[in-house]
Amino acid sequence: MLTVQRQSSSGPAPVRATARSLPKWLQNRFAGRVKQTARIVSRSNGTVTLNVAETNDLLLASAIVPGAAALPALMLQRRTADAYSAIHELTAQRAWHPIRIWNWIPDIHAAMGGAVDRYMVFNAGRFAAYYSCYERGCTFETAIATATGVGHDGEDLIIQVLAAANAGTPVENPLQIQSYRYSQQFGPMPPCFARATLAPEGLPDTPDLFIGGTASVCGEASAHIGNVEAQSTETLNNLAHLIAEASRVRGGAMPTKVDVATELRRFESMRIFFVKPEHAEMIVNIVWPYVDHLEPSHFEIVRTDICRRELLVEIEGTARITR
């Protein structure tokens, strides 16, 4: 695999991964597992393909909406809702609980009419499904898993869901507004995801904390527009506060002042999404000193577009949380 060279030689360069690929640790957990495939006629008369693989304690489901890049706005919204509803029905039938979601959206910023882009249309479909599945939205705070939503170069919408036999615990960043409370500045319907999810206790070989795609967002506003260095630093600050809050939720004490370096040492794996190829080395040089304890295969970078045009970097990962 290609690597990015850093100015410092104190550790390995990151692995360059591709959009639509799951983190290496999760690929390893499901390696060789037999997948079940079903094609479902959706409520909007399209097709949703469901792929499912299981271990004794985890389920991995993938919903694919073929040709999503060619769908008009209303049809894409309906097919997105259908895909999420199909996943919800599958996991509910088998008594599994989603704890981590990845959304791979084709041409994520494509104009869909009326100042709405494809990500906003996707959000409207996801919101509709959640609103229907979770008692008209009243349990968003306790039911919605953390997620990443970024672009990819293919034609299909791909939604990958990791589920466990017991529910996880959503965690929010005290520096940010909950995604499902965003104003209409970011679309007719808000995105719906927790900032992180604490995994149910007792899962072997599973991270304590799943951290969704995190960027330079303060409150609900994009910060440091046009400045990738400042955005990278703000993203690390958000991640540190999120991990500290997860520790508090798990039963620890919230520090009076969050020490960014201390909290980031809890990372067990990290994936960096960056928009412009020329920014990759700079971002890695900023981030690496905080996570140079990671194994090479657990430090990945991905070139892709992310949820807002003005955001240049987004980071997800897993972390350990101790009482």
Report how far residue 29's alpha carbon sits from residue 103's, in angstroms, rounded to the nearest whole number: 20
The domains found in the chain, sorted by start residue, are 15-319 (3.30.1330.40)
In angstroms, the CA 323 to CA 314 distance is 28
Q: Considering only 43-47, 88-92, 171-175, 281-285, which range has the smallest mean pLDDT?
A: 43-47
- Kindly list the distances between the CA atom of residue 193 and the CA atoms of 123, 134, 142, in Å, as whole numbers in the listed order: 10, 13, 11
Structure tokens at 295: 């194994």
Q: Which amino acid is at 284?
A: V
Report the share of the chain in percent with pLDDT over 90.
70
Q: What is the mean pLDDT of the chain?
A: 90
Q: How many whole angstroms separate alpha carbon 151 and alpha carbon 273? A: 10
pLDDT one-digit tens code per residue, 50-77: 999 988 889 999 999 999 999 999 999 9
Span 154-172, pLDDT tens digits: 999 999 999 999 999 999 9
The residue with greater pLDDT, 75 or 137, is 75
> In this predicted model, what pLDDT tens digit does every residue of 124-135 receive, in sequence order?
999 999 988 876
